[in-house]
């Protein structure tokens, strides 16, 4: 079945630096790749997503890139702030009109030091 | 802003007891998902509904877990009997066109 590998498991950066989290997926039929931010005791919050017909997407300080050939995608956060500290999850899905189950990576705990 | 509602937020029970979780999706979202998240891991799908029909329950332990969405709106997930290994966060999500929005979850502790 589909498998998603996420690296690194922990990431510590100084405020203002950039952070990059990388994921690889196994099922070449996957066509939808969301990223979630999860704060302690809360549910995952969708922060950005990308579909397989697009190579890059940007929303203010957050960007996601997708390499379908290599089957990997990455999250880039620029100008990090302490409030960016959380656990980030990547996910992959085969999206039909009915939706599709998300296969999540193992998570990256991001710590932004003031 | 519309949100997915879940209750209770926390549940402590003893093993062999029955527990139930409730989810109210974002209005108009036909697809509803239940995920289980063990501490330190990513969520894993238990069951997916399209309206009132089950689309995928391949990972649902059917000997003890059941889920229903009778009128195609809110949903209930039940565990009977609960086991120690069921301690986890139970997350509900809903979607309209692909993007899944999660609720705050129910933290279950089985003693």
Query: Which of 28-87 (A) contact B at CB < 8 A?
Result: 32, 34, 36, 41-46, 49
Query: Dmax over Cα atoms in chain A, in whole Å?
Result: 44
Q: What is the mean pLDDT of residues B12-17?
A: 97
What pLDDT, on a 0 to 100 scale, did the predictor assign at position A50?
95
Residues of A in contact with B43 (CB under 8 A): 44, 89, 102, 104
What pLDDT, on a 0 to 100 scale, did the predictor assign at position B107?
97
What pLDDT, on a 0 to 100 scale, did the predictor assign at position B72?
86
Q: Examine the pLDDT at A1 and tell me if it is beyond 80.
A: no
Structure confidence by residue, pLDDT tens digits, A30-88: 999 999 999 998 999 999 999 988 899 999 999 999 999 999 999 999 999 999 999 99
Q: Is the dihedral of CA A43, A7, A49, B35 positive or negative?
A: negative
Cβ burial of A91 (10 Å; 0-12, 13-18, 19+) is buried
At CA B4, angle to CA B81 and CA A54, rounded to 5?
A: 115
Phi, psi of A60 (to 5 degrees): 55, -115
Q: How far apart are the first and last CA of chain A?
A: 41
Residues of A in contact with B45 (CB under 8 A): 101-102
Residues of B in contact with A34 (CB under 8 A): 99-100
Q: Examine the pLDDT at A98 and tell me if it is beyond 80.
A: no
């Amino acid at each position: 079945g589909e498998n998603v590998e996420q690296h690194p498991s922990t990431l510590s950066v100084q405020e203002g630096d950039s952070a990059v989290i990388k994921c690889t997926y196994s099922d070449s039929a996957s066509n939808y790749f969301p990223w979630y931010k999860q704060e302690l005791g809360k549910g995952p919050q969708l922060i950005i997503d990308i579909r397989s017909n697009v190579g890059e997407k940007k929303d203010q300080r957050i960007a996601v890139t997708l390499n379908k050939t290599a089957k990997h995608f990455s999250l880039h956060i620029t100008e990090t702030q302490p409030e960016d500290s959380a656990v980030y999850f990547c996910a992959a899905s085969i999206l039909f009109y009915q939706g599709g189950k998300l296969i999540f990576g193992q998570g990256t705990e991001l710590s932004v030091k003031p | 802003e519309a949100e997915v509602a879940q209750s209770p937020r926390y549940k402590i029970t003893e093993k062999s007891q029955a527990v139930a979780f409730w989810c109210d999706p974002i209005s108009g979202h036909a697809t509803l998902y239940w995920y289980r998240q063990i501490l330190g891991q990513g969520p894993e799908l238990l069951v997916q509904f399209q309206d009132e029909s089950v689309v995928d329950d391949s990972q649902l332990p059917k000997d003890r877990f059941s889920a229903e969405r009778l009128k195609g709106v809110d949903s209930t997930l039940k565990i009977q009997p609960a086991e120690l290994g069921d301690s986890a966060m139970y997350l509900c999500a809903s979607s309209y066109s692909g993007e899944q929005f999660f609720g705050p979850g129910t933290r279950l502790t089985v003693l």
